[in-house]
A and B are shown apart, each in its own frame.
Chain A
Amino acid sequence: MPTLKMILNGQEVFVDVEAGDLLADVLRDKLGLIGTKISCGEGECGACAVLVDGRAVDSCLYPALKAQGREVTTIEGLGQDNRLDPIQQAFIDKTAPQCGYCIPGMVISAKALLDENPHPTRQEIEEGISGNLCRCTGYYQIIEAIELAAERLAEKGGPK
């Protein structure tokens, strides 16, 4: 069984995987990081989005071994219970989550967007989360949350 070595949320991790394992399953079932959700399982909803070397990917379609030697960030890597990422805090302050299932993916996409483009227009935000579906259709609050996060990050001197 091959060993996958990656930097997961800042820590070096070794995990034995099957050749056909997908990253989403390894994260959830082998590493217990269940913040990453699986919904459609075919790259249409974005609930499984994680960052690989800073870029958002759908982990349900991503062969786990592609992450070999890469830096992977999941929703668990953005903040902890008492120290949330500014994007997470903005989602709470704008009441962006309804059922909440899409939110880890939305936050990951927002993180990828703001890291690359700290001052997005509304249209750029819409495009940034266009790979994520929310079945509660709470898009407005999500967009407003990302705008708020961008403002707060700008005050602090940019995203980290």
Chain B
Amino acid sequence: MTQLFAQAGSGDLMVAQNIFWWIFAAITVIAAIRVVTTENIVHSALNLVIVLAGVAVQFIFLGSEFAAVTQVLVYIGAIVVLFLFGIMLTRGSLGEETLAQSERRGMGALVALMLFGVMAVSLIDGFEDVTLGEDTRNLIEVETWEREGTDAGDAFLTRGSDTAAIGDTIFEQYIVPFEAISVLLLAALIGAIVIARKE
């Protein structure tokens, strides 16, 4: 955090970008708190939309356009819509719906703490020497991107296009894990249909 303040003071980051970063970060955090404190389950889901949109904005600030768009398409466009759809199909619209919050508060705190620990460790481990404001895309370039001759490689190096780089990395280097995940998802999909149709 001190590093961030130092960077902001030294003018390494663009001013407008810096201001908007703080605005969106504040909105995201407030909405995240409201997700877990509000009594109304639909309000909770709608606040989750703001949190996820805030995360997408942070991805854009990091220069990762593809991750930001995927965040919107998958989480806002599909997952939260399914949440809302499920809530509206199973609960009445009329009158206030209250959440029984207090029962599982301890378990929730434990899960949140564990998640925080895992993410903190992986972030610190992954970006050990990187300071804010540094172009982190160079890291990928050095580690996995050593094909300057290819079209996608040139596009990546000249325009900083991460979309082509992500595509090439997934379908060349990580093709086996990618296919494994695809099969796993398909199996889960079929399993869900079988369970739902049991009657």
Is A bound to B? Answer: no
Where the two chains meet, the residues of A that have a C-beta atom closer than 8 Å to any C-beta of B are none
Where the two chains meet, the residues of B that have a C-beta atom closer than 8 Å to any C-beta of A are none
